[in-house]
Amino acid sequence: MPAIGSILLASTDPGRLRAWYEQAFGVAADPDGFLRLGGVGLLIDGRDDVADVPAEPARVILNVHVDDAPATASHLGDLGVTWHAPLEYRPGPGAWFGTAVDPDGNYLQIIELTSEYWKARRDRARQSGTGSLAAGSVSGRLPAQDLDRARRFYSEKLGLEPVETRPGGLRYQCEFGTFALFESAGRPSGEHTQLAWQVGDVDAVVAELKARGVEFEAVDVPGLKTVDGIAEVEGNYPSAGGIGERAAWFRDSEGNLIGLGEAKRARPGPR
């Protein structure tokens, strides 16, 4: 299924613009140069086919959702931002909206969806017959008896760092989706996949993780057998775009069973 994974924001002075966004939202570019704002990466890059200032800044507006719009607006004010539309609360949708102008002249809309907004959305979901959960978002939770040990495993073996921490919990943000580790006295059963990544090249990912010291599960049961850590799985969901799946499994430091999957594509027929 197609998905917007990143946005390219062109500039004649990308270094200046990138530094402003980093300061404005407290983020730093990842090794590929993307600023991770939620699940979508913002890439600010130089191009020689754009003007210093956009001719129609309203044509494409970056919507940045924040937890506290007044605080964000105050911070942007301290940076000397110009407001195209000052921050205001709109009771209809139950949300804060404000449109700032970045140093290149692009429009940047700050949005905070309040509890009133989410209540109204849940009410709409119930009226449509889909239920409240259909209007929510979902993410994974994994128990950890030793949170420090788990954090080291996910950092050293998987190359993942939490984007947010709290007492007893670590939250991780991937390009698509989030998951959290939480401190727990209980042990996972480890008898089924508890969290899975869909990847584009399972061979490359398995090779990378093996090089980091991850040990993959050997499976040999009727209808499912791993070879060099990877199994051929029959069938797949149509939305995954495949006719089957190539999969691999490993356990984290806490015994949670983690899966990797790559959709198997149908070969094109003769033309």
Q: What is the pLDDT of residue 211?
A: 95
- Determine the 3-state secondary structure of 62 from DSSP: strand
Topology (CATH level 3) of domain 140-264: 2,3-Dihydroxybiphenyl 1,2-Dioxygenase; domain 1 (3.10.180)
Q: Report CA torsion sign: 133, 137, 140, 141.
A: negative
Beta-bridge partners for 65: 111
Residue 192 per-residue DSSP state: S
Domain ranges of the chain: 6-128, 140-264
Strands (E), the chain: 6-11, 34-37, 40-46, 62-65, 82-90, 95-101, 107-113, 140-144, 164-166, 169-173, 178-183, 195-198, 220-221, 224-227, 230-234, 244-251, 257-264
The side-by-side arrangement of strands in the sheet containing 6-11 is 6-11, 40-46, 34-37
Query: One fold for both 6-128 and 140-264?
Result: yes
Sequential pLDDT tens for the chain (271 residues) = 566 778 999 999 999 999 999 999 999 888 888 998 876 889 999 999 999 999 999 999 999 999 899 999 999 999 999 999 999 999 988 999 999 999 999 999 999 999 888 888 877 777 777 666 666 777 899 999 999 999 999 999 999 999 899 999 999 988 778 999 999 988 888 789 999 998 889 999 999 999 999 999 998 888 889 999 999 888 777 666 667 889 999 999 999 999 999 887 654 444 4
Beta-bridge partners for 76: none
Q: What is the pLDDT of residue 269?
A: 43
Closest CA to 203 of 262, 132, 116, 265: 262
Topology (CATH level 3) of domain 6-128: 2,3-Dihydroxybiphenyl 1,2-Dioxygenase; domain 1 (3.10.180)
